[in-house]
Every structure is written in C-alpha cells, then in structure tokens.
A and B are shown apart, each in its own frame.
Chain A
C-alpha cells in the first residue's frame, strides 16, 4: 500500500474508531435513560451511531480552520 493511501485509510479508521468509542460511551450513559425515561425517543445503537457520526463530522468541519 502506498504512503498516500495509508494517510487516507488512517483518517477513515481513526474516524471509525472515534465513532465507535463515542457510540459505546453514549449507549453506556444514556442507554438506561432511553429505556426508562425517554420511551418515546427510540434510540437504537444504529441511531446513536448516526447521531455520533454526524455530530463528529460537524465538529470537525466547524473547527478544522481554527
């Protein structure tokens, strides 16, 4: 694999791990709340993954120029 491909792959894999780490923590903390207090807000792991991915992307975009 070329060096340049590695850079892009590193980026994707870092983001993948960041999303997964974020998803695990969110599920660990709010999973109980979702099940008990917020029954009307269905939050599957897949939903949380989307939320975490989108918000992480937004955070990177908003701060990439700083």
Chain B
C-alpha cells in the first residue's frame, strides 16, 4: 500500500501546483470506497493549500491500509470491474472482431465486382513465334502450303467445333502439339511456356471440346501468328493421331474437319509471314492497337527507337484521331503525340480517382448491408433477441440503413487506404456504438502503431490496461 500512497502523494502534489484537485464522482464505486476512508464527502474550497503541506504522515493518518471496510468494498468493486471488463473483451473478440473481418472481406469482394481492370498502357512488339524461326518448320510450311500469299485459299471447314471426348491438360498438352522432330518440339515447348500454356489450353477447348467459352475457331483464325500456329499444331497432331474414343464422327467427317483446319491455318501462317516481310519493308510501325496497348513491328520499332522515337509518342497513337501507323509520320509528330497522351492520362487519372472514390463508397455501403444480413445475430442479436435476419422491415433496422448512408457518404477519400482501421470504425460506430469495442480495438491499433516490434498479444495487453483506466477515470471529478 505504501507504494500506492507514494504514487498518489506525488501525483496529488504535482496537480495541486496547477491548482487541480481530484475527487470521486458521487454514487460511483470509487466514491463509495473513498467515503469509507474519508467519512462525509468533502466540500471544496478554492483557497487551496500549497502542495508542500501534504505529507506522508498526514496521508498515513487516515490509516488507509488498515481500514477493513475500505478493503472489503475495494475488492468487491474490483471484482465487478473485472467481470465487466472481461465481458467487454470477450464481446469484442468473439462478436465485434468477426464482423469487422467479414466487412473487410465483403468490401474487397464487392469492390472487385464493381471495378474494371486497371488500365496499364503498354507497347508490345510483334514477336514471331520461335518455331517459325526454325528452318525445318519454315520449309515444311512452304512445301505443304505453298500458295500462302495467293488467292488460292483452302476451304472453310464444314465443322468449326468438334467434340472429341478428350480434354487437354498441362500434362498432355505438349503431346498434342508435337511435330515429331526433337529439336522442333523443344522449340515449341519454349514458345508455349513463354506465351502461356493457358492460351494453348483455351484454344484446344474452344475448338475440339464443348467446354471452351471465350475462344473459338473464328477468334483463332482471325488472331495473330501465335493463335494460328497453336491451332495448326493441334490439327496436325490430331489428324495423324485421332483420339481413341472419338466415335461421334465418321473417319471421313473427322479427317475432313481436322484436315481443313490444318490446311487453312497453314495457309494463313504463310500469308501472314510473307505479308509481314512486305509491311516491315514499307516501315509499318504500328501493326495494331486497342484501348491500352500499341502493337509494333519488332524490326521497325528498333529503327524507330534508334531515331529518337519514344514509347509515350507511340501510346499517343491510341488517343490521336490522325491514325498514324508508319515510322516516318510517327517520328515527325512524336512531340505532339506524346503531349496528347500525357494530357489524356492526366484527365484519365482525375476521372479514375473520382470514379474510384464513388466505387469505394458504393461498395462499402453494399458490403455493410450484406455483412449485417449475414451476421445478424452477432450484429443485433444482443439488441433484438429472437429477431431473425429474414425480417429487416423494422424501424430500428431502417434507421440503421439511413445511418449507413450518411456515415458512408462522409468517409474521406483517403480513409480507404487504411481499410482495416476504416472497417473497425464503421462497425463500431454503426453497429456497436454503446459498447467498449471501439476503445479496445483503437487501443490495440494505437499500441501497434506506436511500438514497432510489439506483437498482437502485447498490444492487446496495453489496450486492456488503457480500457480499465478509462473505466476508473470516468469515476473521477477534476476540480
């Protein structure tokens, strides 16, 4: 007890120097304990004594340590406090925290459904698939499909989608792409690994099974060299090695469909290769573009960079109405194209930021409502026992919805950068405003941010002590 008396003596002295005096809020446990020592409540007098008048002897004169009534009351009230604080800690841990976690997950899920893929502008060089740089493959194509550049186009297959009853997997993919030469097959493997096995699997499924969705025969034969060569290799392999369980088609039907696919893709590959050489010779730099990508000829692009061309200027062709595609015209207008692109991206970033803020708020509103619906018992079970989450048509719930709208619309834009903190605040303010959850969780956050190497258990300990002190402090009057 003497340690406590010393602490109290020190604090009271320091406060008295600033003319600050402490008493207990009447009717509180602390007031009751103090009264058991002091007798009748004190009447305050602003003509205060100087701090030096307080001595250990006078404090001891109250016989604080040995007052049985005080000790009994103090232990009783401490037990009440322990029970209350423990119950708040348990409620925060078992009820409030899971709802906050659910809100964070729901927000990210809802936002993902509302957000478009972020725009990333890029320049992509047309790379000839590695197998088409192999003389064995080139000779094979030129021998088998010699009229690639002429008008002698092979006929369209009568069937453009087959159901072969055999799926492709990462394990059997390369068997289905083999040409039979060890070195060529190795090159094919390198090329497929570079462009992604998923692309090859999607083409197989889109043409030879009924499971493919986004890729089909038309998209492949109208695509680039990669797509055409993949389909050609599949058709070439399947023509020679029909799947054993393909009974849906007669041999004639099968050979015709797969053979026609092989012929038309071989023809188109040859045509594109010859056309590509012609276009490179004519200095065609931009071979294609979409909303965020400019495709360029690799050889002409190298020439362009050597002559001082930049990627920013090339990206300017996305937004320029002029339709520049050739080396010279892009070099001549490179500064203007670059300026156009920079102005466009600045405007886009302002629009994007505004749109992102709206998406964040709309997603948070939706996530809050869905979190409450899915966690009704945790959210309102303690307030409305027996009520289920199938009956939201109650005035209290409608009031909550209004509150959600108001609070969410006032969230500052940058608050979403600290999502866990934001979700904690929203859940505590909207759903649990009458509990100690916000104080406890905010205390943990504060302890973590103030102490770099602290673990969560230690942060929780610090927060608990602070929470208990708030409980004690609320029973003090500062005069």
Is the pairing of A and B real? Answer: yes
Q: How far is the CB of A14 from chain B (nearest CB, A)?
A: 5
A29-66 Cβ-contact flags toward B at 8 Å (1 or 0) = 11001100110010000100111110111011001100
A17 touches B12 (CB 8 A): no
Q: A6-B42, A11-B16, A21-B74 are in contact. Are A55 and B34 (CB under 8 A)?
A: no
Q: Decide if B235 is an interface residue (CB 8 Å cutoff).
A: no
Contact A30 B461 (CB under 8 A): yes
Docked complex Cα distance between A5 and B33 (Å): 20
Given A15-B8, A18-B475, A53-B11, verify A7-B44 contact (CB < 8 Å).
yes
User: Closest CB of chain A to B413's CB: distance in Å?
Assistant: 30
- Chain A residue numbers with a CB within 8 Å of B38 are 9-10, 13
| B465 close to A52 (CB less than 8 A) | yes
Q: How far is the CA of A7 from the CA of B7 in the complex (A)?
A: 18
Count residues on chain A whose CB falls below 8 Å from chain B CBs. 47
- Complex CA gap A51/B3 in Å reads 12
Which A residues are CB-close (under 8 A) to B51?
Answer: 8
Size category of the binding interface on chain B: 35 or more
Q: Is the CB of B458 within 8 A of A14?
A: no
Residue in contact with A21 in the complex, picked from B16, B43, B78, CB distance below 8 Å:
B78
**A24 near B78: Cβ-Cβ < 8 Å:** yes
Q: Is B469's CB under 8 angstroms from A21's CB?
A: no
Does A7 lie within 8 Å of B59, measured CB to CB? no
Q: Which of A41, A49, A51, A63 contacts B478 (CB 8 A)?
A: A63
Please, how many angstroms separate the alpha-carbon atoms of A15 and B4 in the complex? 9
Q: A13-B62, A25-B78 are in contact. Are A7 and B466 (CB under 8 A)?
A: no
Which chain A residues have a beta carbon within 8 Å of chain B's beta carbons? 1-26, 28-30, 33-34, 37-38, 41, 46, 49-53, 55-57, 59-60, 63-64
Please list the residues of chain B having a beta carbon within 8 angstroms of any beta carbon in chain A: 1, 3-5, 7-9, 11-12, 14-16, 18, 20-24, 29-30, 33-34, 37-38, 42-45, 47-49, 51, 53-54, 58-59, 62, 64, 70, 74-75, 77-79, 81-82, 85-86, 89, 457-458, 461, 464-466, 468-473, 475-476, 478
Known: A15-B7, A30-B465, A41-B461. 6 other contacts (CB 8 A): A4-B49, A11-B21, A13-B34, A20-B1, A25-B472, A37-B457
